[in-house]
Amino acid sequence: MNIVDLDGMDWYQTSDKDGNAVEGGAVMWRDGSDAVDGYSNIGTSYTMDLGDGVSMTYNQNTPESMTETVLNEGDWETQRELVYDKNGNITGSQNKQPVETEGNCFYQAGQMVSNSGATSLGGGNDINTTDGQIDYMNEQIGNGNSVRVQVDYNGNGDGDHWVATSSRTTNLQTQTSTYNFYDPGTVWSDEGTHHTNTFNVNNGAISGPTHYNNKTYTVTAVRKNQ
């Protein structure tokens, strides 16, 4: 046992006639866990929407993390499309057009950057040092922009694929950050935008898993925006 609620306090949110919490409804932190007329007990953790893509997550009444979102699910793009047979059954998938010289994933990752309101630059504008990559992602996400990121998924040190950053979550206790990304490599949006598509900084490298193929992506370059 590593968490003890000494005060017996919970978060409450306004509820509908069936006792269900109303999304966006008023929230309060109060003693006890008894029923409150017009409110629903939503537990000891609560994520508050602060507007402009920023949210704060509380554990008890202590701010635990802050998330800055620059892409929403509707901004995701895929480099693939489903293939159907004459009976309408899915038989596979294939690359979508257009295909650019650096790969179709490069084009679609750039489209996602555009969806955030920024413009990803062409070749010759890559950041190749870990510190520089972190600084630039932080700067751009702080300005509300996604960035195009090249990754190695074969473990050979070469850039094989492109993705786009979608958010940054900062642990307010340790001041460490996790970066979520949207992956154009899959045809399924729930995989391409999955919350486990994450980059962490470990041992001088930026890396993390992608949900759709269980590979580990290691960042090789971050492309600058215009």
DSSP string, 92-137: EEEEPSP--TT-HHHHHHHHHHHHTT--B--TT-EE-SHHHHHHHH
Q: How many other CB atoms are found less than 10 A from the CB of residue 139?
A: 12
Residue 19 has pLDDT above 90, yes or no: no
| Kind plus residue range of the DSSP H or E element containing 140 | helix 130-142
Looking at the chain, the number of H-run helices and the number of E-run strands are 3, 15
CA contacts within 13 A on the Cβ side of 4: 2
Residue 21 has pLDDT above 70, yes or no: no
Q: What is the mean pLDDT of residues 119-129?
A: 95
- Residue 41: the pLDDT is 74
pLDDT-based confidence at 123, cuts 50/70/90? confident
**160 near 154, Cβ under 8 Å?**
yes
**pLDDT tens digits for range 131-189:** 999 999 999 999 999 999 999 999 999 999 999 999 999 999 999 999 999 999 999 99
Rounded distance, CA 137 to CA 219, Å? Answer: 12
pTM to 2 decimal places: 0.81
| Amino acid identity at 202 | N
In eight-state DSSP terms, residue 73 is G
List, as one string, the DSSP characters of 138-177: HHHHHTT---EEEEESSSSSS--EEEEEEEEEEETTT--E
Q: Is 66 helix (H, G, I), strand (E, B) or coil?
A: strand
**pLDDT tens digits for range 87-100:** 889 888 888 877 66
The residue that leads in pLDDT, 64 or 144, is: 144
Rounded distance, CA 184 to CA 99, Å? Answer: 13
Q: Give the CA diameter of the chain.
A: 64
Domain locations in the chain? 9-64, 73-223
